[in-house]
Amino acid sequence: MKHTFLFIVRHGETIWNVQRKMMGKTDIPLSHRGKVQARAIAKLLAGYPIDVIYSSPLTRTLQTAKAIRTNKTTPLILHAALKERDFGVLEGKTYEEAHAYGTPMQYGESKYYPYYQPPDGERLLDMENRAKLFIQELTHHRGKNIVIVSHGSFLRVLFCHLLGLKLDQMGDVHFDNASLSIIEIEDNQPGRLHALSITHHLPKEL
C-alpha cells in the first residue's frame, strides 16, 4: 500500500494578517516579515524529498511556494481549489468591523457553521466541495511527498475532510503563518496526523 505524505503550509504573514483584516480572495502580497517566514519554511522543507508543490494562485501563497521551490525541477502547480474562502462584502473588514456589520465572524461563531454564507460570499460547504475536488487530484501522486500551500480557512476545511472531522469542529484547528503540518494518507482511509502547525523554524524576532 502506497502512503502519500502531505506537507501542508499556510502562507507567510501579510499586512492584513497583522491588521486582523479578512483577506479571502483579495490578493494581498507577503509583508517583509512574511517573506522572511517563507524563506524559513523553505529551509525546513529542504530537508525532505519533495516530489511536487501545489499552491493557491493568490500572490501570498505563490510567493511562499516559490520560496519553498529551491529545486527548480520540482513541479509547481497552481490550483484554484486551494484559494481562500470568499468572504464577500466582509473582505477587507476587521473582525471587529464584521461584528459591527451585524455578522458574527469570530472563531467559534457562525464563521464555522457549514451553512452560513457571508453576503456575496462562500459557505463552508462550498469550500468543502473544492477540497474534495483537490483531494481527487492527489490520486495522481500516490506514494509521493506533496507540499500544499494554501490559506487558513481553506486548510481548516481540508483538514476536517482528510481527518474525518465535522466542519463545525474546524474552530479547534489553527494554522500559524508559514507553519508546517504533516498528514499521511492512503486510499479510502482517514488521514494520520504527524504534525500540526509547527513553527519552531521561524525566527523569534524579525
Hey, which residues are catalytic here? Answer: 11, 84
Q: Which pLDDT belongs to residue 188? A: 74
pLDDT tens digits, one per residue of 109-167: 545 567 778 889 998 899 999 999 999 999 999 999 999 999 999 999 999 999 998 88
Domains of the chain by residue range = 4-198
CA angle 86, 22, 159 (to 5 degrees): 65
Q: Which three cell numbers stand for residue 12?
A: 507567510
**Class of 4-198 in CATH:** alpha beta
Task: Count Cβ atoms below 10 Å from residue 159 Cβ, excluding itself.
Answer: 23
10 is in an annotated binding site: yes
CB within 8 Å of 100: residues ≥ 6 apart: none
CB within 8 Å of 32: residues ≥ 6 apart: 206
Return the exposure string of 172-196: e unless at least 16 CB atoms fall within 10 Å of the residue's CB, then b: ebebbbbbbbbbebeeeeebeeeee
13 is in an annotated binding site: yes
Tell me which residues of the chain have a pLDDT lower than 50. 107-108, 110
16 is in an annotated binding site: yes
161 is in an annotated binding site: no
CA–CA gap between residue 186 and residue 206 (Å, rounded): 39
For 33, the enclosing helix (H) or strand (E) is helix 32-45
